[in-house]
Homo-oligomer: A and B are copies of this chain.
Amino acid sequence: VSDGDDSRPPTADWRPSRAKQDWFAEPPLRGFQQRVQTTKVCYRKESCAQRIEVVDSVPFGRMLVLDGAVQTTERDEFIYHEMLVHPALLCHPDPRQVLLIGGGDGGALRRILQHPVSTVTMVELDSQVVEVSQRYLPSVGGTAILDHRASLLIEDGVEFVKHCDLKLDAVIVDSTDPVGPAKALFAEEFYRSVHRILADDGVFVTQSGSPLLMPAELHETYHNLRQVFPVVRLYLTPVPSYPGTLWSFTFASKGRDPLGVEPGVIRQRLSDRAISPHFYTSELHFGAFALPSFVEEALKGGRPIDLLA
């Protein structure tokens, strides 16, 4: 949170403020910057892993900010979390054993638990993200963390997967961006570990950053997944609180294809599982995977996707 003339992220000597004219902005990327007006700072502390902030904003309501980057907000968390979880879990007929890496705010866990899962193991690096989210953003995760099917481990996701001997129907990564502490969650080595613990008909999905502002990172993520999995599918969705709005997710599997499912089957599964999403629909399931022509071409040619080139 900064004054109107300050585009730097909050720094260590930054002070909570209640002035109505404050603006929050992530650092500019590629000469582009998104700012939101803020009204109140609710929380700010350095945890073991990162700087955690909770800020009230005019456009998005309350926001969770980690190391200066917006993670989730009251008003648009449903878009991100539904589009992270539902496409992968709805293309699986019976996802029982699920691993969630990251997702400390509880929003992904809440959507996973809407599916007929037996157990969800949530591996989050930073217990303070979980605590702060439950206290300041209770609407995001609800009471998901208390569900008897969910278990929370405070642990490094990469290490967990390396030594894991579960066989999983779905692995979902809800992490910060592939810069800093989460970088290893986008590496080929990590994806090889995921491949090992994933059932033959299992599904994997990860948030994969901004296609506008981090195209090199997205290219690397896609490329790394292609080294390991035969089916890799990028999809896009708008998340207004994230810089540049347009956001990417990448799906991968040993064979299961989200575009290989009939629309009627998706609708039936939504109905059987009694899920009524606020954003996701069976039409959007296919719409989100419909990529712009030049993105398709770039993926086919193994070239980076760059909307601003």
Contacts and interface: CB of A to CB of B under 8 A. Distances in A.
A13 interface: no
A60 B308 contact: yes
Interface in A261-298: 276-281, 283-284, 286-294, 296
9 contacts: A4-B7, A23-B33, A28-B37, A32-B59, A245-B245, A279-B293, A281-B290, A283-B289, A287-B290
Contact of A292 (B79, B291, B294, B296): B79
A49 interface: no
A156 B69 CA distance: 46
A238 interface: yes
A28 B32 CA distance: 15
A114 to B, nearest CB: 14
A308 to B, nearest CB: 5
A110 to B, nearest CB: 16
A146 interface: no
A34 interface: yes
Interface residues of A, number: 49
Interface in A6-60: 7, 23, 28, 30-37, 57-60
Nearest to A307: B240
A240 B281 contact: no
A35 to B, nearest CB: 5
Contacts of A277: 293
B58 A30 contact: yes
A28 B240 CA distance: 15
A281 B293 contact: yes
Nearest to A238: B246
A142 interface: no
A253 to B, nearest CB: 20
A79 B36 CA distance: 25
A296 B287 CA distance: 14
Given A36-B32, A58-B30, A290 B294 contact: no
B279 A284 contact: no
B59 A31 contact: yes
Contacts of A34: 32-35
Contact of A278 (B3, B59, B291, B293): B293
